[in-house]
């Protein structure tokens, strides 16, 4: 069933697009994300201030570190709109450990490229765990009941379709991030064993990791809805 804009009023459309399904949960989680990612950003600027000489290698590693902050910050606050289950200890541990991994990555901007890409791996692992955590928490009858209540003005079918799409997005992201982690692992071995100029290996690593992060931002949950035949007229 394809949902049309004609089915909803301006108020209902705003509710669909902007209001979190569980405002308290989203507010608490977003506050935590803002705090830990703000600390990562502060650590990044601190590391920059310690550099006496800025080389092209350091610039590339800085770009990747900064891009991780932007991507993670954006993905969390976007997905949290559909996070409906009460926060638990895993919702605290994962963002904090992820931030620690990012700080360690920032501290390695002037290290050999194989060390830097090696430290990218735990960042990707924690991102993947965050999607696993969200998928397991939001998959179930309790979460669906929240979707039904939030979208009751638009009907049960609309609520079911939004729920299904959000769950499908989280499920699809898990193997995608895992594959990115594997690729970065192979890239690390390439950087360690392959006898190539250090700058060239840094440029190659920056491009590959950068492409992953660009895809992650582009292929976010909103884009997922935009490309769904059921919601393309509403989410555009």
77-129: per-residue pLDDT in tens?
888 877 777 778 888 899 999 999 999 999 999 888 999 999 999 999 999 99
- SS3 label, residue 15: helix
Contact yes or no for 13/234 (Cβ under 8 A): yes
Task: Assess whether pLDDT exceeds 50 at residue 189.
Answer: yes
- Given pLDDT bands bounded at 50, 70 and 90, which one contains residue 231? low
pLDDT one-digit tens code per residue, 119-173:
999 999 999 999 998 888 888 778 888 888 877 777 788 788 888 888 888 899 9
Q: Specify whether the CB–CB gap between 175 and 168 falls below 8 A.
A: no
Find the mean pLDDT for residues 9-22: 65
List the Cα angle 182/81/159 in 5-degree steps: 105
Mean pLDDT, rounded, of the chain: 85
Helix, strand and coil in the chain, % to nearest 5 = 80, 0, 20
Residues 6+ apart with CB under 8 A from 130: 76, 94, 95, 98
Give pLDDT, residue 7.
53
- Cα distance between residue 158 and residue 103, in whole Å: 41
In this predicted structure, the answer to whether residue 215 has a pLDDT above a threshold of 50 is yes
**How far apart are alpha carbons 146 and 157 in whole angstroms?**
14
Token pair in block for residue 146: 């929240």
Euclidean distance between CA atoms 162 and 192, whole angstroms: 45
Average pLDDT over residues 12-21: 66
User: How many CA atoms, within 13 angstroms, populate the side-chain half-sphere of residue 41?
Assistant: 12
| Residue 75 burial class via C-beta count within 10 angstroms: exposed 0-12, middle 13-18, buried 19 and up | buried
Mean pLDDT of 35-47: 91
| Cβ(84)–Cβ(147) below 8 Å | yes
Tokens of 105: 């990555």
Name which residue leads in pLDDT, 201 or 225.
201
Supply the DSSP string of 175-209, one letter for each residue.
Answer: HHHHHHHHHHHHHHHHHHHS---HHHHHHHHHHHH
| Tokens standing for residue 11 | 């108020």
Does residue 12 register a pLDDT over 50?
yes
For residue 5, name the pLDDT band (cuts at 50, 70, 90).
very low
What pLDDT score does 98 carry? 95
Q: For the segment 169-187, what is each residue's pLDDT rounded down to a tens digit? A: 889 999 999 999 999 999 9
């Amino acid at each position: 069933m394809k949902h049309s804009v004609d089915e909803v009023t301006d108020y209902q459309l705003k509710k669909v697009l902007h209001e979190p399904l569980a405002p308290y949960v989203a507010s608490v989680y977003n506050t935590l994300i803002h705090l830990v990612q703000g600390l990562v950003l502060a650590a990044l600027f601190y590391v920059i201030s310690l550099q006496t000489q800025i080389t092209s290698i350091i610039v590339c590693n800085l770009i990747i570190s900064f891009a991780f902050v932007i991507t993670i910050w954006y993905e969390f606050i976007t997905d949290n709109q559909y996070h409906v289950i009460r926060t638990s200890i895993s919702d605290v541990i994962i963002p904090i450990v992820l931030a620690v991994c990012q700080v360690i990555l920032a501290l390695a901007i002037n290290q050999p490229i194989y060390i830097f890409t090696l430290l990218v791996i735990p960042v990707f692992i924690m991102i993947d765990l965050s999607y696993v955590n969200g998928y397991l928490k939001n998959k179930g009858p309790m979460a669906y009941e929240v979707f039904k209540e939030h979208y009751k003005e638009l009907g049960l079918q609309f609520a079911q379709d939004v729920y299904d799409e959000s769950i499908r997005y989280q499920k699809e992201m898990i193997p995608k991030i895992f594959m990115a982690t594997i690729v970065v692992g192979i890239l690390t071995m390439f950087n360690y064993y392959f006898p190539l100029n250090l700058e060239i290996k840094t440029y190659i690593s920056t491009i590959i990791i950068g492409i992953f992060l660009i895809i992650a931002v582009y292929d976010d949950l909103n884009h997922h809805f935009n490309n769904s035949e059921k919601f393309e007229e509403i989410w555009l």
